[in-house]
């Protein structure tokens, strides 16, 4: 394989890799096992060779150093090649079946497994909708409202965690609390890439997402409690879009979702004023 293509392939696979703990189990970011290998005169060549042999158990592996220096190398020669660049370059090792990976950074390295994620998939049967409300982008004058929305948003997310049929697994509704921002229209994405503490990325499937923009002059006149009620009313009215997109969402039960949202708000003590 061309060295530039191999280098690019490695880092594409790096982005979908999950890193392991000392028991070779998938790890959260703070649980990843880093192995010390040293550098220059202190480079632990025998330890690196043993680790590579035990982890990959293959005669040849891809060794990735730079875009101009990446190739298929005999496993027994890899530690010697690494010793020339350790603590100077980031170095990667990947097997030919593209399912295992090692990554050297400064004087340490980690082990991982490469995962493949389809570009799309159908919603699994009987999976409840995961609803998330966000108001975490704010300016100084609207921080109080962002803080006040935390508790009702969390409770609403719990109450709306139900199966509303259709193809949507996630619904993310953002409240823009920065006055110069614009509201984003509804879009449905078959796959969304999100940075993750496990490996490089998480993939969310069948995601609906949009945002709303409140009247900032009106917000200035409202107490925190009335501002929350106003925002919840805006969200409820905005969910009319889910009825319009019902066919696109494979008959998502938008009417039931809206009714549940309204009733949940009432249970929390907030009156929804419908348009």
Instruction: Return the minimum-mean-pLDDT range out of 16-20, 73-77, 157-161, 195-199.
Output: 195-199
- The model carries a pTM of 0.70
pLDDT band at residue 199 using 50, 70 and 90 as cut-offs: very low
Structural domain containing residue 64: 3-114
Q: For 179-193, write each residue's pLDDT tens digit.
A: 999 999 999 999 997
Sign of CA dihedral 227, 232, 236, 238: positive
* Other CB atoms within 10 A of residue 86 CB: 24
pLDDT at 217: 96
pLDDT at 127: 92
Q: Is 113's pLDDT higher than 60?
A: yes
pLDDT at 116: 81
Give mean pLDDT, residues 174-178: 97
- Please indicate, yes or no, whether residues 173 and 241 belong to a single structural domain of this protein: yes
Residue with tokens 């480079």: 43
Asked whether residue 273 is assigned to any structural domain, the reply reads no
pLDDT at 108: 97
Give mean pLDDT, residues 82-86: 96
Instruction: Return the minimum-mean-pLDDT range out of 123-127, 230-234, 244-248.
Output: 123-127
State the Cα–Cα distance between residues 250 and 166, nearest whole angstrom: 5
Asked whether residue 120 is assigned to any structural domain, the reply reads no
Q: For 20-77, write each residue's pLDDT tens digit.
A: 999 999 888 889 999 999 999 999 999 999 999 999 999 999 999 999 999 999 999 9
Asked whether residue 272 is assigned to any structural domain, the reply reads no
State the Cα–Cα distance between residues 212 and 179, nearest whole angstrom: 11
Residue with tokens 């991982």: 112
| Alpha helices (H) in the chain, listed in sequence order | 3-15, 45-56, 78-85, 143-159, 216-221, 224-238, 240-244, 254-267
- Burial of residue 274 (CB within 10 Å: 0-12, 13-18, 19+) is exposed
- Please indicate, yes or no, whether residues 212 and 253 belong to a single structural domain of this protein: yes
- Please indicate, yes or no, whether residues 159 and 262 belong to a single structural domain of this protein: yes
Strands 35-36 and 100-105 come out as unpaired
Q: Is 198's pLDDT higher than 60?
A: no
Give mean pLDDT, residues 110-119: 90
* Domain-terminating residue out of 65, 87, 114: 114
- Please indicate, yes or no, whether residues 136 and 208 belong to a single structural domain of this protein: yes
Residues pairing with 212 in the sheet = 175
Number of domains within the chain: 2
- Please indicate, yes or no, whether residues 153 and 212 belong to a single structural domain of this protein: yes
pLDDT band at residue 254 using 50, 70 and 90 as cut-offs: very high
Asked whether residue 275 is assigned to any structural domain, the reply reads no
pLDDT band at residue 195 using 50, 70 and 90 as cut-offs: low
Helix (H) or strand (E) holding 221: helix 216-221
Collapsing DSSP to helix, strand or coil, 187 comes out as strand
Collapsing DSSP to helix, strand or coil, 68 comes out as coil
Asked whether residue 256 is assigned to any structural domain, the reply reads yes
Q: Is 274's pLDDT higher than 80?
A: no
* Domain-terminating residue out of 86, 114, 142: 114
- Please indicate, yes or no, whether residues 109 and 149 belong to a single structural domain of this protein: no
pLDDT at 196: 53
pLDDT at 197: 46
Mean of all residue pLDDT scores within the chain = 94
Q: For 125-149, write each residue's pLDDT tens digit.
A: 989 999 999 999 999 999 999 999 9
> Token digits for 262?
């309204």
- Please indicate, yes or no, whether residues 84 and 134 belong to a single structural domain of this protein: no
Instruction: Return the minimum-mean-pLDDT range out of 65-79, 106-120, 149-163, 197-211.
Output: 197-211
């Amino acid at each position: 394989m061309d060295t530039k293509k191999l280098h690019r392939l490695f880092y594409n696979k790096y982005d979908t890799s999950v890193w392991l703990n000392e028991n070779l189990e998938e790890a959260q970011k703070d649980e990843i096992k880093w192995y010390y290998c040293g550098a220059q005169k202190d480079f632990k060549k025998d330890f690196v060779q043993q680790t590579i042999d035990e982890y990959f158990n293959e005669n040849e592996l891809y060794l990735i150093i730079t875009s101009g220096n990446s190739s298929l190398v005999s496993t027994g020669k890899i530690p010697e090649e690494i010793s020339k660049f350790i603590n100077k370059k980031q170095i990667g090792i990947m097997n030919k079946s593209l399912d295992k990976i090692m990554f050297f950074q400064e004087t340490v390295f980690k082990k991982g497994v490469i995962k493949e994620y389809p570009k799309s998939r159908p919603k699994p049967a009987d999976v409840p909708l995961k609803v998330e409300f966000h108001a975490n982008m704010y300016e100084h004058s609207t921080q109080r409202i962002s803080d006040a929305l935390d508790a009702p948003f969390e409770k609403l997310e719990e109450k709306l965690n139900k199966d509303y049929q259709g193809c949507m697994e996630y619904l993310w509704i953002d409240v823009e609390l920065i006055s110069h921002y614009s509201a984003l229209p509804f879009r449905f994405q078959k796959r969304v890439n999100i940075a993750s503490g496990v490996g490089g990325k998480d993939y969310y499937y069948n995601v609906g997402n949009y945002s709303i923009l409140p009247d900032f002059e009106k917000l200035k006149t409202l107490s925190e409690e009335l501002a929350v009620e106003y925002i919840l009313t805006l969200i409820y009215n905005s969910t009319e879009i889910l009825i319009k997109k019902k066919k696109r969402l494979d008959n998502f039960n938008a009417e039931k979702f809206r009714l549940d949202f309204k009733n949940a708000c009432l249970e929390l003590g907030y009156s929804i004023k419908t348009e």
